[in-house]
Structure 1
Amino acid sequence: MTQKNESTGSPVQSDNASLSESSPLPPINRFITTHDKSGVAVFDTNFPEEASRHYVNGGLFTLAYCTNQFPAVLSDDQDLEVYQRFLQEPPGLVVSSGSVCRIVDIGPGFSCPMHRTVSLDYGVVLEGEIELILDSGETRLMKRGDVSIQRGTSHAWKNVTTTVDEFGVRKECWARMLYVLLPVEGITGVGGEKLGEMVSGMGVRQSD
């Protein structure tokens, strides 16, 4: 079913460990609720509570949940079956007809390519510090608890998280973000140009 699975003026030392290694951040547990036969709320037991992670171009992706309809259909646990299928065959960044809840552990110092999805995205920093970069060149530093609202714009993420060790050497560290991606109608830019998805170099397939 599923896969089991801070600052000083000191010099910066890059972490050269392979990004394909497991993130040192805590495991991700997700708790899914449902109803028993008497209609009482219970926790679903079809999925392990510890969510699996898989390596995608500089980070580790966790598909915390995913639907293929909006609004989602919860009756008869139809959405659970959909999620199970997406775990077996992961979607692109977006599901055009549904919702995606994804957690990404971003490797030390990693910067992803500029990209765009046809979606409304809520991004929350859970651990570390992330630089949000727009194609205009504007940037914002996002710290733990900060939220970004991506409205179909071209952007990139850079992990700028560092810590200082006992020798006063600054080292780059992993960061973690939570993303919720929701479907939108087609996006029209300046001059009526239709803005489509752009994910080249992201290490993911095109969204359906």
Structure 2
Amino acid sequence: MAATRPPNETQVSTNLPGLTHHITGHSPSGSAIIESTRPAHWKKILDNTFGFNVVYTTSEFPVSLNNNADIKTYDEVLAKGQLGLVNPNGTVARMVDFAPGSEPLMHRTQSLDYGVVIEGEVEMVLDDGVVTRMRRGDVAVQRSTNHGWRNTSETEWARMFLCCRSARR
């Protein structure tokens, strides 16, 4: 799919649109406002075969929204540059771009994950060899299982939205 917005400055995939994060809050009178609007910042992974963009993360759940404590914590976590796939006791929402023909990186996290295909087609690969093709709008619910994602295209990038919450086993 051709980009309808130019890619973000740090974006690896050039055929997918750039992203903007709009974070809401409340005015002193209590009405809804936009606290900030930020261009997405991408982290390049494994020789530029993946791009990670943290849309938002919290370090506790339920999260405290008082005095924008969550926004301050989000900024601090990103500034440290040490966020893993999950944020223990919190949540992580991220966009992930997959290069054409990239091989799945098998991994297991101690989390409940929701993965939504935004652009392209992605195969969900499980450790028992089962492969499920997912198309735009399809959702996978990963329950601490060993899995990987594979972009099915040989020419176009694919994008998923992933939201993770730490889990107990």
TM-score by length of 1: 0.72
Matched, 1:67 2:52: no
Contact 2:12 2:51 in 1 (8 A): no
Instruction: Report SS of the residue matched to 1:77.
Output: helix
Q: Structure 1 counterpart of 2:21, which letter? A: R
Partners of 2:25 and 2:139 in 1: CA distance:
29
Structure with the higher strand share, 1 or 2: 2
Moved over 4 A (4+): none
- 1:168 alignment partner in structure 2: none
Q: Does 1:25 align with 2:16?
A: yes
The residue that corresponds to 2:29 in the other structure is 38
CA-to-aligned-CA distance 1:167-198 (integer Å, 9 cap, x gap): xxxx521000000001111x2xxxxxxxxxxx
Cα deviations across residues 138-190 of structure 1 (Å, max 9, x unaligned)?
Answer: 110000000000000001111002xxxxxxxxx521000000001111x2xxx
Q: Which residue of 2 aligns with 1:109?
A: 101
Deviations 1:57-110 (A, max 9, x none): 221111000000010111110000011012212310001110000001111111
Question: Which structure is higher in RCO with an 8 Å CA cutoff and minimum separation 6?
Answer: 1
Structure 1: gaps of 5 or more residues = 6-19, 162-170, 188-208
* Aligned partner of residue 20 in structure 2, secondary structure: coil
Give the aligned partner of residue 55 of structure 1: 44
The reply on whether 1:126 has 2:109 as its aligned counterpart is: no
**Alignment-derived partner of residue 149 in structure 2:** 157
Question: In the aligned structure 2, how far is the partner of 1:138 from the partner of 1:51?
Answer: 33
How many pairs does the alignment contain? 158
The alpha-carbon distance between structure 1 residues 181 and 21, as it changes in their structure 2 partners (threshold 3 A), is: closer
Q: Which residue of 1 aligns with 2:156?
A: 173
DSSP 3-state at the match of 2:136: coil
Larger Rg: 1
Corresponding residue of 1:81:
72
Q: Match for residue 192 of structure 1?
A: none
SS at match of 1:112: coil
In structure 2, the residue corresponding to 1:30 is in which secondary structure? strand
Distance 1:174 1:22, change over 3 A: closer
Cα RMSD (Å): 1.5
